[in-house]
Structure 1
Amino acid sequence: MSTPILLGIAGGSIALLLVLIIRLQVHAFVAMMLVSFLVALVAGMPLADIVPTLISGMGGTLGSVAILVALGAMLGKVIETSGGAGSLASRFTQILGPTRVPAALTAAALVLSIPVFFDVGFIILVPIIYGFCKAARVDPVKFGLPVAGIMLAVHVVVPPHPGIVGGAAVLNADVGWITLIGLAICVVLAVVSQYVAGWLNRRHYDMLPTTREQFEAFDAGDVKGKLAAPGVGVVLTLILVPLLLIMIGTTGATLLPKGDPVRNAMGFIGSPVFALMVAIGLSFWLIARGQGWSKERTNEVMESALPPAATVILVTGAGGVFAKVLTATGIGAALSSSITAMHLPLILAGFVISLALRAAQGSATVAILTTCGLLGSAIAGGGYSAVQVALLTVAIGFGGLGLSHVNDSGFWIVTRYLGLSVGDGLRSWTVLTTILGVCGFLLTSLLWVLVT
C-alpha cells in the first residue's frame, strides 16, 4: 500500500482506539487487541499471518515485562503492608526538620514511588499527609500536591512501572540506562514539584465538604503508631539494592567490551529481573521475619499484589501487540519516512504524540505504549546508541505525564483525597503535571544534545 493510505490507517486506528476507550468505555486491553486485529486486516495482512503476529507481539513484550511488573508489585506490596511508608516519611522529616515537612514528604514520596504504583503509593501516603497537615494546621493540598506530582513523574519514567517497561520492550531500550536517566531527572523534578506546588498553593482552594469531614475526623495518633516499623534503613535497602545492582550491569555494558567475562557477570548481576529477585529475597529476611510474619502471611501479602498487576501486564502486552502489527504491516516504516521528510526531531515527535494521547484518553501507560509502537520503526532504523534510545523512551514517558484531567483516574484520586473541586483540580493538579512533563522533556532534550 502507498504511504498516505498506511498513514491514514494509522490515524484511523488511533481515533478508533480513543473512541473505544473514552466514548464506549471498553477496557484498554480489549480495545487495543481489537484495534490491532482490525489494523492487520485493513492493511492487507494475510489472514493466516494475523493471529501468529498478535501472539508474537504479546509474547515478545510479556517476556520481559510480566516478570518485572509482577516482582515490582510484590515488593511494593510488602513495603505497603508493613508500614514502611510511614517510617520513611518520619525519618525524612526528622532529617530535614519540622519547618521543611513538605520537602521531606516529597523526598520520601520520590523514594517510595520507585517500587509502588502511583495510585497505590499516593493512597498509602494520604494518612501521613493528613497527620502532618493537621499538626501544621494547613489543608492537605499544601503538602499533598507536590507529593502526588513527583510520584506520578516517577511512575511514567522509572522501571519497574509498566508504561516505561513496556515502552522499553517495544523499542528494545536498555532498562538500566532508562532507570539511571529517569531517576536523575526525577530528583530535579522533585525540587520543581515543590516550588511549582508552592506557587499554585498561593491561592486558597475551598476543601470539598466530604473531604473536610474525613480530614477533621482523622486521628493523627493512628499515624504515629504506624511510624515505628519497619525501620527506614530496611525500606531504603529494599529500594536501593536493586537500583545499585542495575547500575552495576549498566556500567559493565558501557565500559567493557562484548564477550568480556567480567562484563557478562556484571550484566547478569545487573539484570532487572535478578535485581528485583534479590530485593524480594531480602524482603523475606528484613521485613517478613522482622515483623514476625508467618510463611502463610508472607505468601498472602505477596499474592495479593498479583491480581491488580495482572491487568496492568495484559494492557502492556496488548501495547506490544499493537506495536508488532504496526511494524508487520509497514505502517511504522511509513510513519518513520514521513517524520524524516518533515525534519521533525524524533525526540520532540515522541513527546508531543505521547502528550496528545495522554490528554485524549487519560492513561499514561496506553499513551506511552502506543507512541512507542508508532515510532518503533523510526527509532530502530535510526542507528541510535543505547543511551539515545533510552533518552527517546524517557522523552515519550514524560509525554505521558502532562495534562492529567478528568479522563484520568489519577486525577480523581488526587483531587478527592486533597479536597479539590474539578475546577480547582484543573487549575492545580493539571497545571502541575503539565509543567513537570515539559520540564522533564526539556531536561531529557538537554541530555540528548550533550550525548549527540
Structure 2
Amino acid sequence: MGTAYLILVGIAAIALLLFLVMAFKWPAYIALVAVSVVAAVAAGMPLDEVIPTVIAGMGGTLGSVALLVGLGAMLGGIVEKTGGAEALARSITRKLGEDRVVPALVIAASLISIPIFYDVAFIILVPLIYSFGKAAGHRSPLILGLPIGPLMVYIHNTVPPHPGITAATVSLTGDVGLLMLVGLAISVPVGVVAYFLAKYLNRTVFELSPEIQEHFVHAGADEPIAGIDQNGGGSGGSTGSGGTAAVGAATSTSAPTAPVRTAPGGGEVLFAILLPVAMIAVGTIGNLLFEDGSAEARATAFIGAPAFALLVACVLSYYLLGVRHHWSAGEVTEIMEGALGPAAVVIFVTGAGGVLAKVLTESGIGDALANSLLQTGIPIIVLAFLLSAAFKVSQGSGTVASQTTAALLASTIIGGDYSAIQIVLILVAIGCGANSLTHVNDSAFWITTKYLGLSVADGFKTWSLMGLVLALTGFAMSCLLWLIV
C-alpha cells in the first residue's frame, strides 16, 4: 500500500472513531476494537492476521497496564475508604498552619491524586474544601477548589499508574519508573503555577449556584453535601491531635466491646503513598550507578519495578491503614476488591486502545502518518503535544488522547535514536496535550464545575483556562529539559 493511501486510512479510522464515540455514543471499548478491525482490513493486512493482531494488541497492553492500574486502584481504594485522604489533608494543614490552608490542601491533593483516579480523589476532597474554606473565612469554595482540581487532573494525565499515560508508555516502550519520577518533578512547578493562577482568578467573585452556596454557608454541619458519600472515608469525623478519627464506630448497645475503627494518621498515609515512589527511585538510581547485569543492578531493578513497588504498598496498607485501625481482614479485602470494579472499565478501554495502537503500528499507518507530519519540520516533542491536544479537544478523554497519540508515533520513536529520558519527556508532552483544552465533552469538567457551583461560562473562565495553562507549563518544562538532555 502506498503512503498516501495509508495516511487516508489512518485519518478515516480516527474520524470514524470520533464519530462513533461522539455522535452515536458507542461504548469506547467496542468503538476502539471495531475501528481497529476496519482499519486493519482497509490497510491491506491479511485477513488471517487481523484477529491475531487484535489479540496481541490487547494482551500486550494489558500485561503491564492491568497490573499497574489494578494495584494503583486498590491502594487508592484503601486510602479513600479508611479516611486516609482526610487524615493526610488535616495533618499537612496542621504542619503548615491554619493560615496556610490553601497550599496545605494543594500539597495533600497532589499526593492523594498519585494513586487515586481524579474523579474519585476530587469528590473525596470536596467536603474538606467546604469545611476548611468556611473555617478559614473564605467567601467561596473556589478559593480552595480552584488550585486543587486542575493540579489533580494534571497529575492524573501525566503520572503513572494512571491508565492513559501508562498505556502510552507501554506503546513507546518507555520506562514507567523514570516517567513517574520526572512527571512528579515537573508537577512541582506546575503546582506553583496552579496556586498563583488560582489566586489571581479568585480576585473575581464568581456567582455560585444556589445549592452550592447554601452548602458552603452550612459547611461543617452534620448534614451531608449533595452527592457525597459521608461514609466513604473522605469526609469522616475530624481528626484530633493524634491524626485519628472515629469512622464507622459501633453504636449498638448490644456490642459494647466492639473495637472502634479509627482513621489512619497522616504520616501513615504519606508513607503508604510515597513508599512506591521511593522504591521506584531506588530502581532508577541503581540503573544509573551499577553496571548492567551486576548483582546490585538486578537487586535495585527488582526493588524499583513499579508493579512490585505498588504490590508492596498494597500489602503494607492492608495492615497499616486497615487492620491496624480495627477494620476486619474481610472488610479490608472487600474495600480493595471493590476498587477493582471501576478500574476494570478503564483497564478494558485501555486494552482496546492498545489494539488500535498495534494495528496502526503493524499496518504501517502509524509510520506513514508520523513520517508525513515530521517532514513538516515539527520537532517530535512538539508534534506529540499537538496531536494529543487535538485528540483531547475533539473527543474529551485524556486516556484515549494519550493512547492514540502514542500509537501514531510508536514506530517512529521506537525506531529512532531517542534516549530513555527523551522518550519520557515525549510522554510528558503527550500527557500535557491530553490535559489541555478541556471543555464540555470531558467528564472532569462537569464534576468539578458541579461541586464548585460554577456555570458553564465560568467553568471555561476558570477550569478550562487553568487546565490549558498547566498543560502549557508542563510542556514548556519538558521542552526545556529536552534541550538540556
Shorter-chain TM-score category?
A: over 0.9
Of residues 226-235 and 428-437 in structure 1, the stretch that sits farther from structure 2 once superposed is 226-235
- TM-superposed deviation, 1:217: 4.2
CA pair 171-224 structure 1, distance change in 2 beyond 3 A: closer
Counterpart Cα distance in 1 of 2:87 and 2:221: 15
Contact 2:323 2:329 in 1 (8 A): no
1:205-257 per-position Cα deviation (integer Å, ceiling 9, x unaligned): 11012222333344356857243221011001101111111111111222222
Q: Match of 2:260? A: none
Counterpart Cα distance in 2 of 1:61 and 1:368: 14
What secondary structure is seen at the aligned counterpart in 2 of 1:405?
Answer: coil
Q: How does 1:146-185 map to 2 (within 5 A)?
A: 146-185=147-186
In the superposition, the TM-score normalised over structure 2's length comes to 0.91
Q: How does 1:22-101 map to 2 (within 5 A)?
A: 22-101=22-101
Percentage identity across aligned positions? 49
Q: Which runs of 4+ in 1 moved over 4 A?
A: 220-224
1:413 aligns with 2:459: no
1:279 aligns with 2:291: no
1:350-385 per-position Cα deviation (integer Å, ceiling 9, x unaligned): 000101111111110010001000111111111111
Q: Match of 2:340? A: 306
Q: Match of 1:294? A: 328
1:331-355 per-position Cα deviation (integer Å, ceiling 9, x unaligned): 1121232133222100000000101
Gaps of 5+ in 2: 224-234, 245-262
Bigger fraction of residues in helix? 1
Q: How does 1:137-152 map to 2 (within 5 A)?
A: 137-152=138-153
Of residues 338-347 and 238-247 in structure 1, the stretch that sits farther from structure 2 once superposed is 338-347
Of residues 392-401 and 218-227 in structure 1, the stretch that sits farther from structure 2 once superposed is 218-227
Contact 1:134 1:220 in 2 (8 A): no
Q: How does 1:190-339 map to 2 (within 5 A)?
A: 190-220=191-221, 225-227=237-239, 228=244, 229-339=263-373
- TM-superposed deviation, 1:199: 1.3
Counterpart Cα distance in 1 of 2:435 and 2:138: 31
- TM-superposed deviation, 1:312: 0.5
Q: Match of 1:398? A: 432
Contact 2:79 2:269 in 1 (8 A): yes
Counterpart Cα distance in 2 of 1:137 and 1:192: 21
Counterpart Cα distance in 2 of 1:361 and 1:104: 34
Q: Match of 2:104? A: 104
Of residues 402-411 and 202-211 in structure 1, the stretch that sits farther from structure 2 once superposed is 202-211
Contact 2:146 2:198 in 1 (8 A): yes
Q: How does 1:361-440 map to 2 (within 5 A)?
A: 361-440=395-474
Counterpart Cα distance in 1 of 2:221 and 2:133: 9
In the superposition, the TM-score normalised over structure 1's length comes to 0.98
Contact 1:40 1:329 in 2 (8 A): yes
What secondary structure is seen at the aligned counterpart in 2 of 1:74?
Answer: helix
What secondary structure is seen at the aligned counterpart in 2 of 1:25?
Answer: coil
Matched AA of 2:111: V
Q: Which has the larger radius of gyration?
A: 2
Contact 1:130 1:220 in 2 (8 A): no
1:372-431 per-position Cα deviation (integer Å, ceiling 9, x unaligned): 001111111111111111111111011111111100000000000000000000111000
Counterpart Cα distance in 2 of 1:388 and 1:89: 35
Paired positions, count = 451
1:250-296 per-position Cα deviation (integer Å, ceiling 9, x unaligned): 11222222211210111011101110111011112211122211121
- TM-superposed deviation, 1:442: 0.3
1:171-203 per-position Cα deviation (integer Å, ceiling 9, x unaligned): 110001101110001111111101111111111
Counterpart Cα distance in 2 of 1:276 and 1:143: 30
- TM-superposed deviation, 1:143: 0.7
Contact 2:17 2:31 in 1 (8 A): yes
Of residues 27-36 and 431-440 in structure 1, the stretch that sits farther from structure 2 once superposed is 27-36
Gaps of 5+ in 1: none
Q: Match of 2:249? A: none
Matched AA of 1:98: E
Q: Match of 1:4? A: 4
Counterpart Cα distance in 1 of 2:413 and 2:238: 48
1:343 aligns with 2:377: yes
- TM-superposed deviation, 1:152: 0.7
C-alpha RMSD over aligned residues: 1.3
